[in-house]
Structure 1
Amino acid sequence: MEFFEVIKKRRSIRAYKVGKVIPDEILFRILESARLAPSASNLQPWKFIIIRDSRLKTDIAKLCKGRMWIADASAVIAGVATRPDYRMGSGQEAFRIDIATAFAHMTLTANNESLGCCWIGSFSADECKKLLGIPDQYPLVGFLTVGYPDEIPGPKERKSMEEIVCYDRWAE
């Protein structure tokens, strides 16, 4: 697929073909795209936990406000920050932006492989960390479901360029 087509066709997928396994070489490419993602000061402040075990995916789904469709994904990827202390020159925490960038790389790579993804940001962090054995000092930033779409929703309405872009200065 041409790159811009990959971007245009991306959707948040919440229905997956159950039991369809992602070949290791495709999963590797998805993870490699995260490894190559940019990060503040090139710290690469992340660790990704790949969850394929059915029981574990079900337990995670329960801890994500009971969104059981999460368990149907071929894999669930947990994004964990390994450098939560680092702040950019602006004073902002870098790790959330860095992991979001890595998730975006994975999402687009998966879409290019005819897979679907959905970012999960609503979950019981402490319980998920305990379940996955994540040490207390490392924040669990989010999950990314990955799998073969069972249904692909149509495009959602997007704001116009005029609503989101200003040149040189802020404009209403």
Structure 2
Amino acid sequence: MTHSSTTMPDEHTPQKATPEALLALLRARRSCRHYDPERPVPRGLIDTCVEAARLAPSACNRQPWRFVVADDPAMVARLRTEGKRLGIPHPWWSQVPVFIAVCVQRQVLTHRIAPMVTGIQYDLIDLGIAGEHLVLAATALGLGTCWIGWFDEGAVRRLMGLPKGLRVAALITLGWPDDTPPAGPTSRLALEDIRRWNTWG
């Protein structure tokens, strides 16, 4: 099947990106802790990020993720206040314009291979893949993000009115970066320190 220059390919049509462009995007991603609180993030851009998460793979295609986006100033203020009340050490939360609750629906694998893969939390693995899709899409749009694992799940559930069976696994902050001060360099282990061929030795 071919596409004319005016026809957009659908999500099932493979699209190629150069390795250089992909690596540049990965290197550009940072955990952003300085946001412009006066600059709102359009919902269309947020949906683009969530759409990237929607396209992530999952075990047996269960798609256990759900995303609750807090962009209403009153809701954002309540989340900030709750974090401050609990003594959670994220003072930069006062700048965050958008919080995204990364939620997971607890499910049981019913696939025929399920008895052979017990003890593996596929739903959390799936959630991490989808969440990073969201983060990378945000980076491509010029937005800043930060994964948050230290928060009070009960408080978030109560404020967002989440139903039973839906867990909050993480929060992702989202907004336009305030580059003052500029982001510092990041360090990563060298490739040779993390990769082995065929065996460990």
The two structures have a TM-score, normalised by structure 1, of: 0.89
**CA distance in structure 2 between the partners assigned to 1:143 and 1:22 by the alignment:** 17
* Aligned counterpart in structure 1 of residue 130 of structure 2, from 84, 96, 102: 102
Partner of 1:50: 69
CA RMSD for the aligned pairs? 2.0
Matched, 1:69 2:92: yes
How many residue pairs end up in the alignment?
A: 171
Amino acid at match of 1:28: D
Gapped regions of structure 1 (runs ≥ 5): none
TM superposition shift of 1:90: 5.0
Partner of 1:13: 32
Gapped regions of structure 2 (runs ≥ 5): 1-19
Matched, 1:153 2:183: yes
TM superposition shift of 1:68: 3.9
Amino acid at match of 2:195: V
Partner of 2:9: none
Change (3 A) 1:91 1:97: same
| Contact 1:86/1:95 (<8 A) preserved | no
Please state whether the residue corresponding to 1:166 is helix, strand or coil.
coil
* Aligned counterpart in structure 1 of residue 152 of structure 2, from 112, 119, 124: 124
Name the larger-Rg structure: 2
Partner of 2:161: 133
* Aligned counterpart in structure 1 of residue 79 of structure 2, from 36, 46, 60: 60
* Aligned counterpart in structure 2 of residue 93 of structure 1, from 110, 113, 121: 121
The percent identity for this pair of structures is 30
1:85-125 CA distance string (max 9 Å, x none): 44962521112111111110011110001111000011111
TM superposition shift of 1:147: 0.6
The two structures have a TM-score, normalised by structure 2, of: 0.77
